[in-house]
Structure 1
Amino acid sequence: MLRDGKNKSVWQETSMSVSKPAEILEKYDVLIVGAGITGLTTAVRLLEMGKTCLLTEANRVGFGTTSGTSAHLNTVLDTPYTQIIKQHGVEKARRVLESTREAIRVVEGNVARYHIECDLERCHGIMYAQNEKEKDELTRIRDAIKELGIPCEEIEGNPLSVPSLYAIQFQEQGRFHPTKYLKGLLKAVLDRGGHILEQTLVQHVTEKDGARVIKTADGRMFVADNVVYATHTPPGIQQMSFRLSPYRSYIQVWELVENYVFPDEVVYDMQEPFHYFRQVVENGKTYLMVGGQDHKTAHHQNEQYNFLELEAFVRGTLPAKQKRYEWSSQYYESQDSLPFIGQFPGPGHDNEYIATGFGGNGMIFGSLSGVLIADLIVNKSSTYSDLYSPARVGPLSSIPDLLLENLDVVKHFIQDRFTWEKVEGMVELACGEGKIVKYEGERVGVYKDEEGHITAVDPVCRHAACVVKWNNTEHSWDCPCHGARYAPDGSLLNGPSVAPLKRWEFDQEASAQATDDTSSARRDMNE
C-alpha cells in the first residue's frame, strides 16, 4: 500500500482492495472525508446504526498517518496528565482518562465483532528517568497517574536494560498492527453496504435546501445530510487553521543482537523530545521500534539529520545490529492539549463535524472520534462531546501557546516574502534533491529525480500562501504554516490545501539533458 512519504513504513506490506460502488446514491446520510482510522471507524459505527455512508479518500485507504503510526494504544498520553490537570483540572483529566479507556474498548470490540487479525495485545507501559531533573518530572507524572486511578508502581530498572535512575510501570496500555486493523474495518464497511471512492479530493462543501452539497476536484457533486472531516484539518482557511500546529515524528525499526529480550511493554524515556519503544513482529521475527526527534513541520533545516540523530541514539543505547525501516509521519497538536472532536464551529457549518488535534495519540483519539461523532449525528449528544468540543474556549494557560503558534505563522507569512529576494541564480542539484531558487526574479521549487529529470513548481502553498520547504527525507514540499504537503511534482499529499502547487514546465530537450540551468524553463504555470 502507498503512504504520504518516500520512506517505507513497516506497516505498508498490508494490501488494501477497494472496488468502486456499483452505483452512487442520490443522497447519503453521511459523507466522510478521509479513509484512515478516524474515517473508517466513524463509517463502521454509523453503518451499524443504520445510516448510509460514502467515504471519499483523496489518495488511497490508509495513505496518511495511520500507515505511519507507532500504533500504541495508551491511556497515558503523550501529553502528560500533569499538563492536562494544570490546564483543565482534575475532573476533566479523569474524563480524558475514561475516554481513552473507551477508545481501547472500541478497538477491542471491532476486533472481536469483525474477526480482525491485527496482533492486538494489552500490555503495561514504562517510563524511565536518567537524571535528577527527569526523575523529579517523572515523579510528578507518577502522582498524577495514580491520582486519576491508573494502577502504577515504581520498578527497578527498565526492560530495555538501559541505565536509569528511576522508573515507573503502569497498566492499561496496548499495541496492534494498524493497517491490518484498517483492512478489517474496510471489509466491515463494504460488507455493511458502505461506499468508498478513492482518488477523490473534496474541495468545497456548501449548503442547499438543508443538505450539504460536496464538490470534488474532478468536478463531481455529492449530496449528504452530514459531512465528517476525518482528515487532520478541514479544507480551506478557517478558524481551526490557527488552533492547530503540524508536527513530524521519526521512527526506525531495528534488528537487535541475538538473544536480546524484547520488551513486552511500551516504553518511554524522559528526554526532550522523548523517545518511545515497542516490539513489532514482521514475518515471524521480532524487531524493536524506536521513535522520537519530533519537531514542527518544515521547521528543521535538514530532516534527514533527525534520522541520523535517532540512529546515533539507538546505536549508543541499545545492542543494535541492523536498521530495517525508517520513516516519518505527521500529526497535529491543539493549543490546549486536548483534541477537537465534534461539531465544526462557526456559521455555515451546520451538520459538519471534525476530528483533529490528536497529538501523538491518533489511534486512540481516531477510534474515539468515530464513536463520538456517530453519536452526535444519530443521537444529537455524546458522553464526551463537551470535553472535546471544537467550539470550546480554551483555558487561560493555553493562550500563550496559541499566541506563540500564531506568531510563528505570521513570521513565515512575512519572512517568506522578503528573505527570498537574497537568493540569486540556480544552484547545482544532486539527484534526489529539491531546492527553492530564483529565476528571473521569481521563486521556483526545483527537484531532480534519481534519473536526473527535473520538475519545478511554484513554491507558494495553495492554502494560505506561505512558502513551502523541501523535506529531504520524505521527498516532499512541506508548508511551515499549517502543514500542507505536496509531492515533488506539486501534487497534493496532505491538506488543508485542496489544490496542487502550480507547476513550471521545462522544454523537453532541457529535461532530457537534466540541465541545472533554468533558462530553458517556460514560465506558464499549470493550475
Structure 2
Amino acid sequence: MRSYWLDTSPTITPTNTGFISRDRYDVVVAGAGLTGLTTAVLLARAGKRVAVLEARSVGAVATGNTTAKLSLLQGSVLSGIREHQADDILRAYVEANREGQAWLLRHLDEHKVSYQRRDAFTYATTEDGVATLRRELEACQTAGLDAQWADATELPFEVAGAIRMPDQAQFHPMPVLQTLANELIDRDGELIEGVRVTGADHHRSLTVQTSAGDVEADHLVLATGVPVLDRGGHFATLSAHRSYALTFRLPEGSSPVQGMYLSVDSPDRTLRSVPAADGSELLLIGGNDHSVGRATSHSGAVADLETWAREHFPGAERTHAWSAQDYRSIHQLPLLGTLPHSEGTVFFATGFNKWGMTNGVAAALAITSQIHGHSPSWAEALSERVTSAADVATGFKDNLSTGMHMATGWASAELTSLPHDAPAERQGVVGQRHGRPLGVSTVEGTTCAVSAICPHMGGILRWNDAEHTWDCPLHASRFAPDGTRLEGPALHDLSRPHDEE
C-alpha cells in the first residue's frame, strides 16, 4: 500500500544516506515529517547547526500518509477535550492550532505551494451523532471559533445535521516537505536518511546514539510520532490507532465533494477532493479507525471503504489505498516538552490525535521557542493540564485492554504450533517452534521467519494482511516481513531465528 501523495511526488534527496558527516551539531532532530522538518527549519533560521535523522525516508510515516486537512474544525476533538479539561485549556489548544495553521498557510504562500481553501464540515447520520455535534458546536463557540450549524450538505446521502466552518484548507503534503528540506539544506542543515536514533547519554554533555555512531549535540528533538526514547512512560498514556484512506477517479461528468468532511458516527468516514496532475479531481475517502494490531481483518477494512465509496459514488474506480498511524493521549491533548531525566536537553511531541498538520507545526513552534529559552503562552497552558477522573478512567481502560492482549497473545502463541508448509502469498501466521513464538510470512514469493515477540515490551505480534506487516497490539510498534522496524516505540528490529526458512 502506497499513498497517493508518495506515489505522485519526486523523491526528496537527502544530504547523506546511512552516515553522519559531523561529530557535533547544535540540535539533532529525529524524524523527517512535518513536525521534524519544521522544527529544523525554524532552528536553522535562528542560526543553529541542525541535522535531521530519518530512519526511513522523508515523509514515509505520518506526513506522507495523512489526509492533509488544515482545519480548526476537527471532528469531535474539542468537545472531547472539554470533557477532560477546563475551558482555558481548550482555548489554549485552539490557539496552538490557529498558530500552526497560520504559519503553514504563510509558508505555502511564500513558497508558492498549491493549496485549496475549503469549508470544513463535521456531520452526523444518527441522533446520537447529532447530540455529539451539539456538544462540539458549543465547544467551538466557547473557544471563539466561527462554527455554524448546517441542516444539509452536498453529500450524496442524508445527514441528520452538520457543523460548518468556512475557509479552512487542504493540500498535498509532499511539496511542503520538499520546500522545508530545501530550505534546511540551503541554511547549511543536513538531512540524513537511513539513520535511526537509538539512545541518548547525558554524562557531561548530550551524546545522541544512532545506528551510524554517536554524535554530540546541545539538544535532541524527537519528532517520531511516539517518543522512541521514552523515559517518562508516555507510551502508557497513549493509544495508537490505524485508519485507511483511498482515492478514486469518478466517471466523466461526476465531481467529488467540494468541502472537507468528517463523520462523528461509527464507522468513521472522512472525505475531500484531491486535484490530480491532469487537471481532474479525485475523491479521497478514509476511515475504519481501529487500535493498532487489534483489527480482525485489515484488508477487510479497506474493502469496506471501497464498497462504501462505490455505493455512494457509483462508478468510482480506486487509484490508491494506504494507511496511517495516529496517537491520542488520555488527556485528549498533544504532549510536548522535555523528556524527564534529560536535564532539559531532549524534547518530544506526540499525541496529535489525527490532526498533525496543525498540531505538528504548533509543536515545532513551541519546541523551537523552548530551546531559545521562552515558550508561547498556549504551550505553557497546555503543560499545566490536570489529570481528571475521565483521564484516569480512559487510562485504566486502555491499560486493561493492553494487559489482556499481552496475556491472550502469549497464550495463543504457546498453544499453536507453526505449520510445516509456508503461508500462502501475503499471509502470516504466529506459533511456537522449539519453544519460541515465531512469525512466518510470505510476501512476493519470499518466506521469512522472525521472532513474534515485540522488542519493546514483549507483546506477541499480529499479522496485518493489508500492509503485510507485523503489528504489536500493546503499544503499536510495527515491523516489515523481514523484521525491519517501521514505526512505534520499539528501538530495534525483530530477531531472526537461525533455522528460518
TM-score if structure 1 supplies the norm length? 0.89
Give the corresponding residue for 1:152. Answer: 147
Alignment of 1:104 onto 2:82 = no
The letter for the 2-side match of 1:226 is H
Q: 1:285 to 1:505 in 2, by over 3 A?
A: farther
Give the corresponding residue for 1:509. Answer: none
1: distance between equivalents of 2:294 and 2:85? 29
Give the corresponding residue for 1:240. Answer: 234
Deviation at 1:250, TM superposition (A): 0.7
2: distance between equivalents of 1:310 and 1:471? 17
Query: Cα deviation per residue 1:349-393 (whole Å; 9 max; x = unaligned)?
Result: 53110010111101111111111100000133232222333x854
1: distance between equivalents of 2:409 and 2:163? 46
Deviation at 1:156, TM superposition (A): 4.3
2: distance between equivalents of 1:379 and 1:165? 49
Give the corresponding residue for 1:456. Answer: 449
Query: Cα deviation per residue 1:429-458 (whole Å; 9 max; x = unaligned)?
Result: 21121111232332211111222x311001
Deviation at 1:183, TM superposition (A): 0.8
The runs of 4+ residues in structure 1 deviating greater than 4 Å are none
Contact 1:340 1:355 in 2 (8 A): yes
Give the corresponding residue for 1:89. Answer: 86
Give the corresponding residue for 1:64. Answer: 61
Alignment of 1:432 onto 2:426 = yes
Give the corresponding residue for 1:287. Answer: 282
Contact 1:116 1:180 in 2 (8 A): no
Unaligned runs of 5+ in 1: 1-5, 507-520, 523-527
Alignment of 1:306 onto 2:318 = no
2: distance between equivalents of 1:128 and 1:352? 40
Contact 1:7 1:474 in 2 (8 A): no
1: distance between equivalents of 2:430 and 2:7? 31
Deviation at 1:278, TM superposition (A): 0.5
Task: Select which of 396, 415, 419 maps to 1:422.
Answer: 415
Superposed, which structure 2 residues align to 1:73-222 within 5 Å? 73-113=70-110, 115-117=111-113, 119-209=114-204, 211-218=205-212, 220-222=213-215
Query: Cα deviation per residue 1:140-165 (whole Å; 9 max; x = unaligned)?
Result: 32232233222233334212232123
Q: Percent identity?
A: 27
Q: 1:23 to 1:293 in 2, by over 3 A?
A: closer
The letter for the 2-side match of 1:134 is G
2: distance between equivalents of 1:148 and 1:50? 36
Query: Cα deviation per residue 1:312-338 (whole Å; 9 max; x = unaligned)?
Result: 221222334211111111111111110
2: distance between equivalents of 1:274 and 1:414? 29
2: distance between equivalents of 1:108 and 1:166? 29
Deviation at 1:427, TM superposition (A): 6.2
1: distance between equivalents of 2:171 and 2:3? 18
1: distance between equivalents of 2:420 and 2:358? 45
Superposed, which structure 2 residues align to 1:343-422 within 5 Å? 343-344=338-339, 346-389=340-383, 393-422=386-415
Q: Over the residues paired in the alignment, what is the CA RMSD in angstroms?
A: 2.0
The letter for the 2-side match of 1:56 is L
1: distance between equivalents of 2:228 and 2:255? 46
Give the corresponding residue for 1:518. Answer: none
TM-score if structure 2 supplies the norm length? 0.94
Unaligned runs of 5+ in 2: none
The letter for the 2-side match of 1:132 is E
2: distance between equivalents of 1:23 and 1:321? 47
Deviation at 1:411, TM superposition (A): 1.9
2: distance between equivalents of 1:150 and 1:465? 44
Alignment of 1:278 onto 2:269 = no
Alignment of 1:476 onto 2:469 = yes
Length, aligned pairs only = 496
